[in-house]
A and B are shown apart, each in its own frame.
Chain A
Amino acid sequence: MLMLILSRALQSCVALLVLSVVVFGLSRASGDPVELMVPVDATQEARDVLRHTLGLDRSLAEQYVTFLTGALSGDLGVSIRERRPALDLVFERLSNSAWLALTAMTVALTLAIPLAVAAAVWKGTLIDAFARYIAVLGQSMPTFFVGLVLIIVVSGRWGLLPAGGMESWQSYVLPSITLGWFVVAGMMRLLRSSLLEVLDSEFVKLARIKGVPERVVIWKHALRNALISVVTLGGVYFALLLSTAVIVETVFAWPGLGRLAYDAVRFRDFPVTQAVVLVTAVLVVTINLVVDFLYAWLDPRIRRSQSGGS
């Protein structure tokens, strides 16, 4: 198990290093921020001074080393637009996005697991068709549409929940449903098919031979095996929700990471862009790491094979 943790952690470090190069390169390739910061009629001298204070007149290699050493000590530069440390901006927004992703994931799981179980147990019946219909609907409707409809009906017509912002727990309900529903389809379909496979297996037959009630057969013997395949997808979706909920954050005026990234790109605020991408990358890598450990926890066979077979 220790070997597993060490080797995966090392892989993650390499991935992050490669990513830092890509981020650095892409943000430099997106255009000169100086042009956006100075007045149109600024002198060449004024431009050069600004370029010098920003460190943009040095070689790319030098800039990269500065960037990397800064990044390692938690300094990702100052936002060009807001003149505040880029990392502070990111962390302010990050917790907002993280909470939204977490509640959306909760919505997704509480919908996907029972739907998948029902669909698998009553395979080929109306219940199965209904469950799959609900799931596919969530995936095929664009999130901005679902979001707008929820705002119009629930907030507008019924006046039940806030339409946007982040004032109380009630503000979480609509964006979480909008985001969560989108994720349900993939998770539910994967879980349904792996459940069907597991329910057909010999060990489930043996459990029934022991006289285990069907309820326990499904929720204990089958579901834990079936969940293994869903964990990876869950991790991917969670990272996705965390970092790319731009549309939903815009519709619900949610001060999250997605909108910060969008604004930073629009204004060529490259320290912020770098910070957003880098922090997101660290998160994605960490989530993948957690997923791997979850895997090992769920499946004793992985625990063993990865630790050198002893």
Chain B
Amino acid sequence: MMLEVRDLKTQFLIGGRTGTAVDGVSFSVDEGQTLGIVGESGSGKSITALSILRLLPRPFARNAGGEVLFRGVDLLKLNDKQMRRYRGHHISMVLQDPMTALNPVLTIGDQIEEAIRMHRKLPRAEVRRLAIEMLELLRVPAAARRLASYPHEFSGGMRQRVVGAIALACQPELLIADEPTTALDATVQDQYLRLLKRIQRDRSLAIIFITHDLAVVARMCDRVAVMYAGRVVERAPTAALFAQARHPYTQALLRSALPEIPDRNARLYSIEGAPPSIFQPRHGCPFAARCEHVMPRCREEAPPDIEMGQGHAASCWLLA
């Protein structure tokens, strides 16, 4: 396995209260694979990503246990300098909002070249050539000329490609994509996803794709982990998840995302209630309060991870 996350825990310390944002999350990705992480806002998806790169917002958030094994090395045990060698070089990330992800006062050439120079000692002209190559890879037109442009001279879709060029500049093995297409409109989103797939194929890049958009998951991901309240409640190959979701939360998610509409007066399905605050003490299953199939046991004891074969697992008492 390229990346193996085991029992990862991340806590927030705000105003003297401790909240658990990521609560014992485990998953893995291998070369050329895409793992989707889905869940609603606040389920801990982005914090999981930042925990892997060790870029949690300081001083509030901190790692509280678990392992992040990248090719066998536990990233959580590295010092800052060692960790920096992994960022951008082995593991990289693209962010959600292309409008704010680029430094407004530096040219995009500066920003791409900096990413290359961080990890590779090369002559200036060579760095420049690589930067142009990256923009061409991301299909930014007139790449050589646009190195001197500033971010505000690009459209949103083009900016997201520039962010992609920066993230991929040092040919990382793993790319974490945190809702990279959420801020883009549908046609631009489609182009971007195609591009990402092609680059992945050419470079056997591993991708962790964080999203709340199940249509994107169906299109991009080999396997999916569904997160709820800081936990992975179900993980499965993508096809199996869509065909046969086992956790009530996943079922509800699918039903609200891909609704059956029998007639025009039918009400759209939505999951009642809201996820628990991370500062609430935890007893039992975090979804119990909103679950249609809740049983007394759900409120007292956290359900174990139940393997159902072919990499499909869910943590729910219904399956025990």
Question: Which A residues are closer than 8 A to B by beta carbons?
Answer: 124, 200-203, 205-214, 221, 224-225, 228, 298-301, 304
Contacts and interface: CB of A to CB of B under 8 A. Distances in A.
A210 B88 contact: yes
Given A224-B105, A225-B105, A210 B87 contact: yes
A35 to B, nearest CB: 59
Q: Which interface class (under 10, 10 to 19, 20 to 34, 35 or more) fits B?
A: 20 to 34
Contacts of B166: 206, 210
A209 B167 contact: yes
B153 A209 contact: no
A301 B103 CA distance: 11
A209 B118 contact: no
A203 B88 contact: no
Nearest to A123: B59
A114 B104 CA distance: 23
B163 interface: yes
10 contacts: A201-B100, A203-B102, A208-B87, A209-B95, A211-B89, A211-B119, A212-B118, A225-B104, A301-B150, A301-B152
Nearest to A209: B93
Contacts of B103: 203, 206-207, 221, 225
A221 B85 CA distance: 19
A205 B55 contact: yes
A124 B150 contact: no
A300 B100 contact: no
B4 interface: no
Interface in B69-91: 80, 84-89
Given A202-B97, A300-B152, A304-B152, A209 B104 contact: no
Given A202-B97, A203-B102, A298-B105, A211 B85 contact: yes
Given A200-B57, A207-B114, A228-B105, 17 more contacts: A202-B95, A202-B97, A203-B100, A203-B101, A203-B102, A203-B104, A206-B101, A206-B103, A208-B55, A209-B53, A210-B92, A210-B115, A211-B87, A211-B89, A224-B105, A225-B105, A301-B152
A201 B84 CA distance: 19
Contacts of A206: 95, 101-103, 163, 166
Contacts of A212: 114, 118
Contact of B104 (A200, A208, A300): A300
Given A211-B89, A301-B150, A202 B55 contact: no
A200 B60 CA distance: 13
A209 B46 CA distance: 14
The 10 tightest CB contacts between A and B, nearest first, are A211-B87, A211-B88, A210-B88, A300-B150, A202-B100, A210-B115, A203-B103, A202-B101, A211-B118, A211-B84
A207 B163 CA distance: 11
Nearest to B118: A211
B82 to A, nearest CB: 11
A212 B95 CA distance: 16
Contacts of B118: 210-212
Interface in B156-189: 163, 166-167, 169
Nearest to A225: B105
A140 to B, nearest CB: 29
Contacts of A224: 105
Given A205-B55, A210-B118, A300 B105 contact: yes
Nearest to A204: B103
A77 B85 CA distance: 70
A211 B118 CA distance: 7
A209 B174 CA distance: 12
Interface in B229-269: none
Nearest to B103: A203
Interface in B196-233: none
B253 to A, nearest CB: 27
A168 B169 CA distance: 56
A213 B150 CA distance: 23
